Structure 1
Amino acid sequence: MTGGISTLADHKRRRIEELTARTSEAGGVSLIRDAGRRLLRNPTAIVGGAIILLFLVIAIFAPLVAPHDPVQRFPELTRDLTVDSIPGATAGHPLGSDPLGRDFASRMIYGARQTLFVGVLATLIGLLLGVLLGAIAGAVGGWVDVLIMRVTDVMLALPSLLLAITLVALASRSTQWTVIIAVAVVNVPIFARLLRGSMLAQRESDHVLAARALGVKRRDIVLRHMLPNSLTAVIVQATLTFAVAILDAAALSFLGLGDPDINRAEWGLMLGVDGVRYFEVRPELAYFPALAIIAVALGFTLLGESMREALDPKNRR
């Protein structure tokens, strides 16, 4: 019996030495670097990243890419513009006109910038509030944890779009900021619950127990050990949430609860105000914004799922 245990111990020791030697020869690879290599070899991540990169380039350089001012009305377009006829593609206007005689291609390009603005702000606000609440719940525990989690449970019990509609309806006047805040609040409980669960898992990890044994202050343990090691899953979720934020903001604009400024080029607003109203006259006014929203949401979803696989050791292939 003793000989068997000794043989097993020797086998484990040799295995550890072998893995250590391989790591030393490779120079050591961090989790982030290893995840980056996996993403570069993942076709799904490459497709998602390419879609996002194209979206970012168009949004950032919209004034250089767009052929015209998105609010300018053109005589050559308004001349043939009627309730039952909206001009299609013409020279200088590859996507034709919108119902007010403005260049539709330019409005689609500027719509990428506006959609990026709404999605980024809504996701960042929801992320910051969720991380704050999740960190407090995971670090303090007790009745504070119970209170925060019960509030998040109530918010998660409601459909996200219904909750966002309710929050926007409570505002005296719908603006772009009411949409951003409503979408951000909807995402807060997702981040809070995810971070709280990760921090509870970190609470009993070896490095946290060692820090407690050495007498490290509780605040330092939370900020230096528990919180940094719990943020990976939250960051991945933020990538996926960005896609949801774009869809929710577009849905609110589609329902007429978004920004009422018709001069603002935003894909959800363009889909709801012009696309549906003039669908029988010119369905392209609905097709192009809808396809753009779907493509961007798909890009962030593909990249987020690939990041989740690359960063989670259980899902590594």
Structure 2
Amino acid sequence: MIHAGIVGATGYAGSELVRLLLSHPEAEVTAISSVSFEGKAISEVYPAYFNLCDMVCETAGQVVDKCDVVFAALPHGLSQELAKACDEKGKAFIDLGADFRLDSEEEYQKWYGGTYQDKELHEKAVYGLPELFRKDILGKRVIANPGCYTTGAPLALAPAVANGLIELTGIIIDSKSGVTGAGRGLSQGTHYPDLNEGLHAYKVASHRHTPEIEQTLSRLSGQKVHVTFVPHLLPVNRGILSTCYGRLKPDVTKAQVRKAYEDFYQDEYFVRLLPDGMNADIHNIKYSNFCDISLHIDTRCGNLIAISAIDNMVKGAAGQAIQNMNLIFGLEEASGLALVPPAF
């Protein structure tokens, strides 16, 4: 049995890790920590866990000492020292924050305002999007778990970019996210009267997930890719719908696009390529680790429209982190994650 620890267990992503790991057949939650709720049981913070997990929040150091793998569900800037402590003690470390996601320290400074404290440790870290970079993850111990937008949008575009089906300029990503993506902390933008019955864009063409999306697409294409990325906030708890637009190269047919996606994802359990005529919908992936993708061709304008739907708390955070843990420890990749989405 793998002993798993969660630092930042009382945030939304941390709580979701607890929920999923409680049902994992080969891992158990051994220790949790929370700065805000140290000394309190997680079931006091989330009564849904009453009598299922009444574990008391300890310190981050205690979590590291007790566990084989440590999940860090922390804001950016807080994971590097923790990762180093895990690395020195031979513990696996999976970061749900942004500290290890970007290859370039210059980009990290630009978008997050921080620096790399241990460059050798950053060189050990790998980007943990299994469907695209599985071979890199196997056998590694420091994993940068992608964010929610940076999972859904690249999965929608990856086959088209990797197979040279679309132009690499002019790619547009329009994403709409449930409010849990903003975290558990309160803000005016997530205040119920402001959010309910509304829909608005935010951080237009300036969201810090932009360079991460570009990094993934550039790696797949072998060329530098720039995208226009506009996120929106939906008045729902969960889910991200990403509608991605790319101009098809001359003479690329709908059949070619379809085959490229089928071949690319044929062995991927968690990617469900929907048949023609169906649309990806966040309703159909709720609470699950699936990414649904629907393909649409605008023949009049010559554009590919690839739409993906994920649960931002599962495939976009905790579920993908557990998927990475399974890979690290040589477990069945879907272990603990074969969750059926509710039909209504």
Relative contact order: is structure 1 or structure 2 higher (C-alpha 8 Å, sep ≥ 6)?
Answer: 1
TM bin, normalised by shorter chain, reads: under 0.3
Q: TM-score normalized by structure 1?
A: 0.25
The structure richer in strand per residue is 2
The structure richer in helix per residue is 1
Q: TM-score normalized by structure 2?
A: 0.24
